[in-house]
Amino acid sequence: MLSIVVPTYLEAENIPPLITGVFDSLDETGISCEVIIVDDNSPDGIKNVVNQLVADYPVRLVQPKGRERDLSMSVIEGILAAHGDHILVMDADLSHPPGLIPAMYRTLLEDESAFVVGSRYVEHGSFDRRWSLWRFFNSHIATLITRPLVQCQDPMSGFFAFRRDRVEDYDCLNPIGYKIGLELMVRGNFTSVREVPINFSDRELGESKLNLNQQIKFLRHLRRLYTVRFGTLGEILNYGAVGAGGLVIDLLFYYFLQLLGMPHQLARACSFWPAVSSNWYLNRVATFGERKRRPHGRQWFEFVLTSLVGFSLNWGVYYILTSGTAYFDDYRLLALIAGVGAASVFNFVMSSLVVYNEKRQ
């Protein structure tokens, strides 16, 4: 059986044409199917809409309780509630063509170890030409930065199919935001990604749920998946990005304090504190966000202690270079960067093995 999971919020008006389109596409194909609508408790009368459809179609409504509205969690709950071994996920807004469900399903049956994606960006695929220039670039940039994670032309697609048992433990899924397909591709046990071209249409009814908050969640989710896919290398890249932000803070205070008349060597010592506090927090929630969190104060103190050792190395390199070499005394920024680079290696090792070590309570 094919179980079609449709996550919804404020989509009641789209459900009748969606259900009609789904079962019209399956008519005379011999495909046994159910539709599970997982709704985040919309105040739009969706329960009455689904009740009117139940007499004619194998449709179920699931409305989870006790959690915040979350599209990805709705998809996971729909998968767990499914009766079939084969899962297909699609949006309720009619942007995913129901007519391609048979092709998606046949593609999956040809290779049940594959993850099947309805793709806008393969040959014969397309997107709605009414998209704004901003939405077009937003979609393509998001796709570009996701490419290292999966071999897929359209990793952002929300129209996909897979065999349910290719994901060993649904409790291990930890999506943030709405790109549950990407989460499944990265964490699931799939041998390949197969793409079926689709013509993506923009919604006709209702309003898009995509906003700035969802885009921020996507970036957090992407950071998490890079860590899952690349392990320590992913953490190093995140740590480096956090360190780069800390360096900006460091430099701002370094030059600002000198403008106030402070000697450059003392300014170098004082600019450490706002930078280290920023780095501690961002590493806690971003770089090592997958690890269990320990008490704030104690962890900050440990981070500061290890960073002070690293800073001693940092400041020592800076002091030796600027004091002993005329070139670096003229170009003090280079000496500062050299010190930061030497200390960064030490700090990452100590952060990973000591400060954010999840085995320590």
Which of 75, 161, 74, 175 lies closest to 117, judged by CA? 161
Residue 47 pLDDT class (50, 70, 90 cuts): very high
Question: Containing H/E element for 189?
Answer: none
Residue 336 pLDDT class (50, 70, 90 cuts): confident
Average pLDDT, the chain: 86
Domains, the chain: 2-230 (3.90.550.10), 232-355 (no CATH)
DSSP string, 31-100: --EEEEEEE---SS-HHHHHHHHHTTS-EEEE---SS---HHHHHHHHHHH-SSSEEEE--SSS-S-GGG
Mean per-residue pLDDT for 274-290? 84
Q: Which has more confidence, 210 or 175?
A: 175
**What pLDDT is recorded for position 212?**
62
**What pLDDT is recorded for position 79?**
95
Q: Could you report how far apart the first and last alpha carbons of the chain are, in Å?
A: 46
Residue 208 pLDDT class (50, 70, 90 cuts): low
The one-letter code for the residue type at 11 is: E
pTM of the model: 0.71
Q: Is the pLDDT of residue 352 over 70?
A: yes
pLDDT tens-digit series, residues 101-127: 999 999 999 999 999 999 988 888 887
Q: Which has more confidence, 129 or 78?
A: 78
